[in-house]
A and B are shown apart, each in its own frame.
Chain A
Amino acid sequence: MSTAADITREAERWTQASGRSLEAVNDIVSAPLIDRDRWSWRAWWISVVISLALTVVMLVTILWLFDKGIGIFGNNTTVVWGFPIANYVWWIGIGNAGTLISSMLLLLRQHWRASINRLAEAMTLFAAAIAGIFPILHLGRPLYFYWLAPYPNTMSIWPQWRSALIWDFWAISSYLLFSLLFWYIGLVPDLATLRDRAKSPVARALFGIFALGWRGSARHWHTLHVYHTTMACLGVPLVISLHSVVGLDFAASLMPGWSETIFPPYFVVGAMYSGFTTVILLSAAVRWGLRMQALITVEHFEVMAKILLAASVIMALSYATEWFSAWYGGEAAERRLVAFEFTGDYRVLYWCMLFFNCAIAHLFWFPSVRRNIAAVVIIGILINVGMWLERLLIVLNTLSHSYAVGMWRVFSPTIWDFLLLFGSLGFFAFLYLVFCRVVPVVSMHETRRLLSTEAKQ
């Protein structure tokens, strides 16, 4: 992977020729927001209708859940965590990746991030917000969720600070607010561009207010740069701690298959893995839907595919470490659990998960696969399904097959489990579709800077 500093060859540039002037970048990125009549929005409207329908499904499921309680899910007295917790871990993983990708690539001076960081950060915001809903829905009495916060109350009690649930609450809320600041501050110069290009007075006023009066002063750019890089330095440990806390929800227990020291880093890598696949899907959708071919290029998909390949190897290593520790530790329940994973009730899902997460990404050794966007997208979807299966199986295998043999039970999901899962996907898609029409999906100022650095060579 090259940085802009050593780019000399045409093949290594991160933009296509048609997007290589400042005005071209401004025009391509702002067209969907202020020049809306350039193409018909049929695909967008169809997607909005479908995603809105799924959002309604989600809302109805939530209402039904509030009315009837968590008995509507497949959870039973042994498998007390089911889909909601698996969905939570999966969504928060996707939610992790945006800021992780964006800040790590910034610190590593990977200038190609200019085309994808904005859409990855937006993905983070929506996915983390959706993830935050699931633990609340999974509470027996969701109306008391605010007890997680320390507030002066007539009972004069405090949250239990030693509880992983409290850690989750603070980690998610801090992360969400942090990501919002990180995303917004990077957006301010672009909002100023839109303010100055907008044709309607209403759009100009709205963009103008949110642009805070940005005028591209060199002093402001300097302060923004200092703030942005410092935020990136803070963001990396924050995201790592966030998904580590999610790992600790499991690892801090005393259950076979959960009480493992590898859980925090293993969860973080999994988050990056599923997050990157989601970034690939969104990049492909945005590239096609908003005509961004000049800015989001095949080269972007190629480097992201390479990262997926690396993450896949690390995932395989993590699974192998789990099996090895179970065998080497010698604990009967641990060994029994590994055998149950491969041969028990959920074996088909487990084998599928191993295939999707550890095997399929090896197709990315071939440059022709990495440079074929359709192939990268399909493999990305399969990996994301694999990662969801992993989150689900972490919950199901251990709970179904823990120490007490008399407690072994199998989980079977109900229709409500699936409705909530697909409803949340629809809600995410809806939020994303709206985002595409109100905020520039590619960072214009960072792309302009990339062009100027490339042009100097």
Chain B
Amino acid sequence: MSAMLVADFRDAGVLVKASHWAKAAGYPLADAFSPFPLEGMPELLGETSTRLRLWMFIGGMTVAALAYGTEFWSAVYNFPIDSGGRPLHSWPAFMLFPFAVGIFGAALTGFIGLLVKCGLPRLHHPLFDINGFERVTQDHFMLALHAPQAENDKRTAVAWLKQAGADTVWELEW
């Protein structure tokens, strides 16, 4: 839990500009909330790389390997059927099942990874207590900064956010 200042903006461009200024002024950005993804925002927040794709690759390959292993073991060792002299290990015919389920495995790993990374599902969050936060999924934009410790600095930050175009600034902890 840390103290945050959350500022409400009417316009995406104003918020992006304010975030640039805030970063330059040395206020640590915590997060931004918007009804659609804002270009350049992940970079400002330091969210440049993600391991999600790597996890998806690992998940997909694991599922595909399991599928191929099942085929190989069942067709060659556990229940061999000689069907017209075809090789027991008919690898070309065995490729499709691992391919299809492997892609689904990657998708599912990614889905779970996304939920874990975003901390979802989380049906309640202190932000939802802000009166007006419901506009963030519709047409408002909010910027969250880590609030400075000293009361004086905090007041300066609030005044500064308002000058940058914020309608309202709230203080809350999460």
Residues of A within 8 A of B (CB): 21-23, 26, 150, 156-158, 160-162, 166-167, 170-171, 174-175, 177-178, 181-182, 185, 189, 192-193, 195-197, 208-209, 212-227, 230-231, 234, 237-238, 241-242, 245, 445-446, 448-449, 452
Contacts and interface: CB of A to CB of B under 8 A. Distances in A.
| Interface size range of chain B in the complex | 35 or more
A314 to B, nearest CB: 24
A233 to B, nearest CB: 9
Contacts of B118: 217, 219-220, 223-224
B86 A150 contact: no
B115 A170 contact: no
Query: Chain A interface secondary structure, helix, strand, loop or mixed?
Result: helix
B36 A162 contact: no
A448 B104 contact: no
Interface string B126-159: 0110000111111100000000000000000000
A395 to B, nearest CB: 22
Contacts of B81: 160
Contacts of B168: none
Given A181-B111, A182-B107, A212-B120, A218 B96 contact: no
Contacts of B32: 217-218
A166 B97 contact: yes
Query: Chain B interface secondary structure, helix, strand, loop or mixed?
Result: helix
A219 B138 contact: no
Nearest to A177: B104
Interface of B: 12, 31-38, 41-42, 45, 47, 50, 52-53, 56, 60, 70-71, 74-75, 78-79, 81, 83, 86, 90, 93-94, 96-97, 99-101, 103-104, 106-108, 110-111, 113-115, 117-118, 120-125, 127-128, 133-139
Given A22-B138, A216-B137, A222-B47, A161 B90 contact: yes
A218 B114 contact: no
Contact of B47 (A157, A214, A219, A234): A219
Contacts of B70: 150
Contacts of A197: 134, 138
6 contacts: A193-B137, A215-B133, A218-B38, A222-B37, A234-B106, A242-B100
B111 A185 contact: yes
B96 A209 contact: no
Nearest to B113: A227
B137 A162 contact: no
B42 A218 contact: yes
Contacts of B79: 156-158
Given A212-B121, A223-B117, A231 B107 contact: yes
Contacts of A218: 31-34, 37-38, 41-42, 45, 47
Nearest to A453: B39
A216 B78 CA distance: 51
Given A215-B33, A217-B31, A161 B93 contact: yes
Contacts of A226: 50, 52-53
Contacts of A150: 70, 74
B37 A225 contact: yes
Given A219-B31, A222-B42, A158 B137 contact: no
Contacts of A23: 138-139
A4 B124 CA distance: 36
B50 A448 contact: no
Contacts of A449: 36-37
A174 B107 CA distance: 10
A83 B117 CA distance: 47
Which of B70, B114, B124 has the most A CB atoms < 10 Å from its CB?
Answer: B114
Given A170-B101, A213-B125, A162 B93 contact: yes
A162 B86 contact: yes
Give 4 nearest A-B pairs by CB, closest first.
Answer: A196-B134, A221-B37, A212-B121, A22-B139
A175 to B, nearest CB: 7
A215 B107 contact: no
Given A218-B45, A219-B42, A223-B52, A158 B78 contact: yes
Nearest to A162: B93
Contacts of A26: 138-139
Contacts of B50: 222-223, 226
A241 B64 CA distance: 15
